[in-house]
Chain A
Amino acid sequence: MNRMCCILFFITVLFACNKTMKPADYVRWVEDEGNGLRVTRNMGEYAFTLQYKPVDYMIAQEARSNEIAPEYLAKRRQQLGNDLHFNFIIRSNGSNTALKEGTDEAGYFMRTGHFFNEGMDDFKLYSSSDTFDCNFCHLEQTYGLASESVIVLAFEPRSGQVKQPLNESLTMVYDDQVFGVGQLKVKVDGGKMGNVVMGE
């Protein structure tokens, strides 16, 4: 009977434990669409991908190493704080880069200009409890050389509204003004995030 109790205890502990991952594995896990933090939407000539970036994912990307000093990790976690970070990646299904697809040079500059100046107004984020305005929007300028255009976004929830690590769904509304696809809603699900932790 005692042995049975011990086995049951160990099984419970085993399942209750979080899975600790090396930084490289953690990055792969976050970028795996099956885990709900990266969602792609095809729309006509374009594919729009929303990548949620947990703080640890950003630290791992910065460090580019599987060995991150605990002090550095703790410091960066504090610096990056409670903001919600995303990459919004736009690809073209045609032969051009996304910003050049279906338009001429003037159209290309109009699109880049739009994201540089008014892009922030195109994005909204909402959780089950509230809506957040975008407080950072930056188009990574590649001058049409990269096949995809990446827009880096950040949203600042008021304290306690969205807990980190994320354990709920967040919907991002992209109100398109330049590609002619209209309003797109993309939902990322943080339900599985509680089960994984990035190890030092």
Chain B
Amino acid sequence: MKRLNIIMWLANGVILLSLFAYLLIKSDGYAYIETNKVYEGFRMKKGLQQQLESGVQKESERLDSLRMELKMAMLRYENGKDDQLKKAIELKQQELVLREREAKMQYEELADKYDSQIWAQINQYVQEYGKTHGIKIILGANGNGAVMYGTDDKNITEEIITYINKKHEGL
């Protein structure tokens, strides 16, 4: 009986020590995330990307119909060599160039706006994660040399993705 007690005490001691060591490793105040993965895994980004793509699709359909009109006008001109038609074609060409440029600018503006909204939320949620989990520094590894090496136990990318998605859903 006495022997059993000793074994039980030893086993408890080993479990407690392992737990303590685990907590010590986990809570030494720094961790890193793979920023690209976090960005790609954030649901808000996926939603906004869909919106952006559907906008691009609609605009490209409008431009396609304009191109088609232009093509038809050029065919008509080749058959008749009408001067008025030539002027109309030139105007349409200018309009097409202008609208293509505008569409590109609008796309870039919108993509920048969405990007800054996404990063504003990621930054906020990562801050909150760090505060609630007692992490002093969270480094962002994005392949540009900010973090050259890190052990897997310091990589909290998946935890962060889960956390920011929960936060984004209002939880």
* Residue ranges of A at the interface with B (Cβ–Cβ < 8 Å): 42-44, 171-172, 176, 180-187
Contacts A42-B128, A44-B124, A182-B120; A187 near B171 (Cβ below 8 A): yes
Contacts A171-B170, A187-B170, A187-B171; A182 near B121 (Cβ below 8 A): yes
Does B78 make an interface contact (CB < 8 A)? no
Interface residues on B, range: 10 to 19
Does B136 make an interface contact (CB < 8 A)? no
Contacts A182-B44, A185-B168, A186-B170; A44 near B123 (Cβ below 8 A): yes
Tally inter-chain residue pairs, CB-CB below 8 A.
37
CB-defined contacts of A182 to chain B, threshold 8 Å: 44, 48, 114, 117-118, 120-121
B10 smallest CB distance to A (angstroms)? 43
Q: Can you name 5 A-B residue pairings with CB atoms under 8 Å?
A: A43-B124, A44-B120, A181-B121, A182-B44, A184-B170
Residues 1 to 19 of chain B near chain A (Cβ within 8 Å): none
Q: How far is the CA of A171 from the CA of B128 in the complex (A)?
A: 20
Contact between B120 and A181, CB atoms less than 8 A apart: yes
Contact between A181 and B117, CB atoms less than 8 A apart: yes
Does B169 make an interface contact (CB < 8 A)? yes
Give the nearest-CB partner of B123 in chain A. Answer: A44
Does B60 make an interface contact (CB < 8 A)? no
Contact of A180 among B120, B128, B171 (CB under 8 A): B120
B130 smallest CB distance to A (angstroms)? 13
Which of B47, B117, B170 is packed against the most chain A CB atoms within 10 Å? B170
Give the nearest-CB partner of B171 in chain A. Answer: A187
Q: How far is the CA of A187 from the CA of B167 in the complex (A)?
A: 10
Q: Which 7 A-B pairs have the closest CB atoms?
A: A182-B117, A185-B170, A187-B170, A171-B170, A44-B120, A43-B124, A186-B170
Which secondary structure dominates where chain B touches chain A?
Answer: helix
The contact string, 1 if C-beta is below 8 Å from chain A, for chain B 93-123, is 0000000000000000000011011101101
Contact between B169 and A185, CB atoms less than 8 A apart: yes
Contact between B170 and A180, CB atoms less than 8 A apart: no
Give the nearest-CB partner of B125 in chain A. Answer: A43
Q: How far is the CA of A186 from the CA of B169 in the complex (A)?
A: 8
Q: How far is the CA of A44 from the CA of B119 in the complex (A)?
A: 10
Residues 114 to 162 of chain B near chain A (Cβ within 8 Å): 114, 116-118, 120-121, 123-124, 128
Contact between A43 and B121, CB atoms less than 8 A apart: yes
Contact of B124 among A42, A172, A180 (CB under 8 A): A42
Q: How far is the CA of A43 from the CA of B120 in the complex (A)?
A: 7
CB-defined contacts of A43 to chain B, threshold 8 Å: 120-121, 124
Q: How far is the CA of A13 from the CA of B116 in the complex (A)?
A: 55
B62 smallest CB distance to A (angstroms)? 24
Q: How far is the CA of A185 from the CA of B167 in the complex (A)?
A: 8
Q: How far is the CA of A133 from the CA of B56 in the complex (A)?
A: 27
Q: How far is the CA of A42 from the CA of B132 in the complex (A)?
A: 14
Q: How far is the CA of A44 from the CA of B123 in the complex (A)?
A: 8
